[in-house]
Amino acid sequence: MIKRFNPDFSLSISHELAYMRETPEGGYVAQGDYATLFSELEVVKAERDALERQLSMSEAKCKGYFSDAAAALVRCDALAVENAALKSISIKLFNLGYLHGHEFTVEGYFVDVHRNDLCTYHDDVVAEIIEDENETPATSAALAAIEARGVEKFADFLDSPIDGQHCYQNEVGLARHFASTLREAK
């Protein structure tokens, strides 16, 4: 504990000539006490500056991580949408290629094959394609997450105050529940 001077202005006519009294603890402040305080202050300032530098570096790293994660999420969403589009296009491509390729074969090499048999075969292949393409759980989960985020954004919009009041609390709860069921359905 540092002892401080307590000037006694009541004994002096001028403030420049104020007399110094002993502190209640019994002593005056030594010059070395001030030197110790200033050196401790410099150490604390240096530690504070080092912590501020570490904090700013950590913030920069976190911003980089968040931007990388956001970019990866955008790429993932784009891939899921493309995959869903490819699923729907593959049947159309098969139909176009199959029907176009067999327009001339019935009259040419495969005279003995009946048109109904070709249509039945075609329907069987299309059913197999649909069955194979329905087994994409990662794409289904990604699309469900995209839909759920859209519903949550709508819920956030409804939850924002209008004229200082929250008007749609029931609808917000329903929207959030629907978003969670979308995620669970996968």
Residue-averaged pLDDT of the chain: 71
Provide the pLDDT for residue 111. 47
In-domain check, residue 138: no
User: Has residue 45 got a pLDDT over 90?
Assistant: yes
Structural domain includes residue 144:
no
C-beta of residue 172 within 8 angstroms of C-beta of residue 159:
yes
Give a yes or no: residue 185 inside a domain.
no
Tens of pLDDT, residues 91-125: 676 666 655 555 555 444 554 554 555 556 666 76
**Is residue 37 domain-resident?**
yes
Q: Is the pLDDT of residue 173 over 90?
A: no
- For the chain, the distance separating the N- and C-terminal CA atoms, rounded to the nearest angstrom, is 67
Mean pLDDT of 10-16: 51
d(CA 71, CA 65): 10
Number of domains in the chain: 1
Residues 6+ apart with CB under 8 A from 21: 5, 6, 7, 8
Asked whether residue 98 is domain-assigned, the answer is: no
Residue 123 CA, chain-centre distance (Å), reads 44
Domain that holds residue 53: 1-78
Count of beta carbons in the 10 Å neighbourhood of residue 71: 10
